[in-house]
Structure 1
């Protein structure tokens, strides 16, 4: 059952995924056009939850920054250090369009991103060449996103079966192919093998801590909700596999205290019941002629 919220919360959620430097994306159009992923998918259930989205997204970036080539490309060619909120908003919107947007809109957006990535190349501090459209790097980015969102949802919102985790990987393949992540994991087993294969490549960097410092200070949430922002960042660190946290130097001080985990779970559970009428999830249901609360009914639309 969905809980309807005050207009200011709806406006806040809308601001977090809509650009300030361009026209807003209308997820209700074109009427009737399906997305790359079906409405009864695991992806649609997970991405409607803003807590899972924020926590999973931060965890994914931490994992991305553990790879030296991805880290250098992101840090040298993105605006995150100068405009963290703007960058987070653009990234969030891209994720929403990929999952919920009409397929034609998603393909056009992804093609634009691929063209931008074509210009991103260089060398890591160790002299290793990199290119943003390299299949291996794109595959790692895709895998970290799948891991982050899945783990955030299952740890802080609702359990996911092994079958649902496999389905989530399968659902991401269409977009992954369009982005160029040709070796994206198609199952949980593939995801685990990829993480293991990356074991010797991942390394510590001061940039990981700089990223967390910027994220703590950035006005992502309104001032009154800033404690929640800091709590969710801790929850994201906690999701990173223990061996990677150890390699990055993310000690227990960066994660959740024992009494904070129930608070994150409470936030995740509440977010799963709050229906935001302007959210891409709800607007996309309307586009397909489904009830606005389709994803909030018992079973989460599955």
Structure 2
């Protein structure tokens, strides 16, 4: 493919995913800073959160799974500006994940403190009269667990086979991401694949599709400001359906046959994802983080 096309893809993706400015200073210094959670190149978290296709498909799956919690969905419906500014909402989420994964200690604390502050302002009452607040520890655990379970599922489906995690590394991934959730105020955060599945099983009786969740799902399926964006998002969104647990697809009313998911959605999303990854090229964020971490060895 021509170099000009690669440049255009990179510019468009950087604008949509990161808001245009990567803010590399969050990742590049100070030299030797290990980051708030001590995550390093080669760690499961670094590998999962650094794989674009898995994160994009996993991100869509996370939003669908999270929407099944009536209290979580009420908070999003009442307070989020995702309908008016979906790209801005995406930028904020990506900024939090990349900074807590690859950023310096100070940068990670800054984004965590900001999210904690925002959470104090998000509270209200569901249509059936139940109070909710975004800083509720149990609600934070739900949002975190649904998110990281989806990210890992995306990685295991769309990363090159040689880069996928072993069962032991999957457990290590959950252990490494748990402190991020706890820093936000979550409690009793699952720390292994078995604990995650047991947690989801315990949560299932309280999960259901609300009108707000149905509306959000419809919005996601139409995500994209332009025809070009929608052409890219649609196969990734379709593929994300395959990352959901069977019971979640059924609860959401998504009827997409297994043959379609495996024989069409998976290869098409893989091709789209590889093209996007080619356009992005080597991650400048990860390169900056590696340079910062290398300062410790040089010192």
**TM-score calculated relative to the size of structure 2:** 0.85
> Which of 279, 289, 294 is 2:294 aligned to?
289
Shift of 1:228: 2.6
Mean CA deviation greater in 208-217 or 82-91: 208-217
Q: What corresponds to 1:194 in structure 2?
A: 199
Contact 1:114 1:133 in 2 (8 A): yes
* Root mean square deviation, CA, Å: 2.6
Please say if 1:232 is aligned against 2:240. Answer: no
d(CA) in 2 for partners of 1:277 and 1:30?
22
d(CA) in 2 for partners of 1:28 and 1:223?
36
> Which of 57, 72, 77 is 2:74 aligned to?
72
Q: What corresponds to 1:18 in structure 2?
A: 18
Contact 2:238 2:265 in 1 (8 A): no
Please say if 1:117 is aligned against 2:119. Answer: yes
Q: What corresponds to 1:252 in structure 2?
A: 256
d(CA) in 2 for partners of 1:127 and 1:196?
25
Q: Between Structure 1 and Structure 2, how many residues are aligned?
A: 284
Structure (1 or 2) with the greater helix fraction: 2
Shift of 1:46: 1.4
Shift of 1:150: 0.3
Contact 2:68 2:213 in 1 (8 A): yes
Contact 1:56 1:148 in 2 (8 A): yes
> Which of 54, 59, 81 is 1:52 aligned to?
54
Contact 2:75 2:123 in 1 (8 A): yes
d(CA) in 2 for partners of 1:208 and 1:236?
16
d(CA) in 2 for partners of 1:205 and 1:96?
31
Q: Which runs of 5+ in 1 are unaligned?
A: 291-302
Shift of 1:146: 1.2
Mean CA deviation greater in 141-150 or 120-129: 120-129
Q: What corresponds to 1:30 in structure 2?
A: 30
Shift of 1:224: 3.6
d(CA) in 2 for partners of 1:278 and 1:156?
17
d(CA) in 2 for partners of 1:112 and 1:160?
32
Shift of 1:216: 3.7
* Aligned partner of residue 263 in structure 1, secondary structure: helix
Q: Deviations over 1:253-290 (max 9, x none)?
A: 79737323222234445666776355422322232238
**TM-score calculated relative to the size of structure 1:** 0.85
d(CA) in 2 for partners of 1:80 and 1:289?
38
> Which of 162, 173, 177 is 2:178 aligned to?
173
d(CA) in 1 for partners of 2:290 and 2:8?
22
Contact 1:165 1:188 in 2 (8 A): yes
d(CA) in 1 for partners of 2:169 and 2:278?
20
Q: Which runs of 5+ in 2 are unaligned?
A: none
* Aligned partner of residue 130 in structure 1, secondary structure: strand
Contact 2:221 2:237 in 1 (8 A): yes
Shift of 1:140: 0.5
Contact 1:14 1:278 in 2 (8 A): no
Contact 1:56 1:236 in 2 (8 A): yes
Contact 1:14 1:279 in 2 (8 A): no
